[in-house]
Structure 1
């Protein structure tokens, strides 16, 4: 697949050849849904489990008389009303970490990249070396990007700091490319270094291990 290579100023720098096995697949909604669901589930943190009555090591012996003691008629010290007692209806540890086959995860990432290539919302840059936020904002205006833009570069450099205050712009290193952030973006901007790293990542045995 041939796609135009642009400079950050919006000028054409020729064409770049994209691997059809990574950028030329037909997206499938069921695969993308499975990967996004898995990715969001992995982000959920479980509550720390609290000790309930059965988890507290205290005596179960009735410690007072039923009548005449002047206090409530408690049966044991494990009751929730006592300091150190078991909590009533406490938080339980839940498993929000489902598994997903590595091949499905790799396929989902390829399809997410292919969806932007097919829709024409993929921009390939020859480089992304900018250190000033105002300068970067001007460059984005010439690239005709969408309302929500994801930029993936080879490594995290000064340009990542320059993009922090730009509304609707997110930046990721190539190693952090994932399905959820890619399909959420209106425009996907890849540098040539990111393209090389992504294609090399899928060329390895087993493909990708990230979402």
Structure 2
């Protein structure tokens, strides 16, 4: 599929670019996208730390005190929760969220996310180089383009330094290198902007 190149201010660029149908021409499936997004978000969660319960505390198991005549409860050992240094009663349990997902499903999910944006919300630019790499100037250009409130911009091997600096303080504008492209970030933004280098990198990523 052919897409006309644009400039970062939304104006028409020079020429067009051929996008691979194997990457940008798939029919998105909600179930695949849901599985990949769930996998991403679950793996962002940290491991819930466990507290030490009665069986985890290293204290003597020798019976404390006499069975009768002491005037106190009949304790079995010092690891009981009622003692200072004993285990915690009903403490937090360790929980892990590192769910697994087949690599083919992850790759298919990214292709479908890119295809979904190719249907509506994909802009391809030649480069991110700016004549005036200032935040105010870039803000005016993006406002003129009308990309929406949330814009994800993906460059090639690494993001152009001047553009990254100018976009650093813009709310709703996120910039990533091609290697950082992921389903969750692509779907949660209104518009996806790819450079020519990003398209080449993404297509090579799947062809390799």
Match of 2:135 among 122, 133, 136: 133
Give me the CA root mean square deviation: 1.7
TM-score, normalized by length of structure 1? 0.89
| Structure 1 residues not aligned, in runs of 5+ | 205-211
Q: Which residue of 2 aligns with 1:173?
A: 177
TM-score, normalized by length of structure 2? 0.90
Distance (whole Å) between structure 1 residues aligned to residue 162 and residue 94 of structure 2: 41
Distance (whole Å) between structure 2 residues aligned to residue 91 and residue 21 of structure 1: 47
Map residues 189-200 of structure 1 onto 2, 5 A cutoff: 189-200=193-204
Task: Indicate yes or no: 2:75 matched with 1:50.
Answer: no
Question: Could you tell me whether the CA contact under 8 Å between 2:4 and 2:12 is conserved in 1?
Answer: no
Aligned length: 203
| Structure 2 residues not aligned, in runs of 5+ | none
Task: Indicate yes or no: 2:9 matched with 1:5.
Answer: no
Distance (whole Å) between structure 2 residues aligned to residue 70 and residue 133 of structure 1: 76
Task: Indicate yes or no: 2:138 matched with 1:148.
Answer: no
Distance (whole Å) between structure 2 residues aligned to residue 189 and residue 8 of structure 1: 9
Question: Could you tell me whether the CA contact under 8 Å between 2:123 and 2:194 is conserved in 1?
Answer: yes
Question: Could you tell me whether the CA contact under 8 Å between 1:8 and 1:126 is conserved in 2?
Answer: no
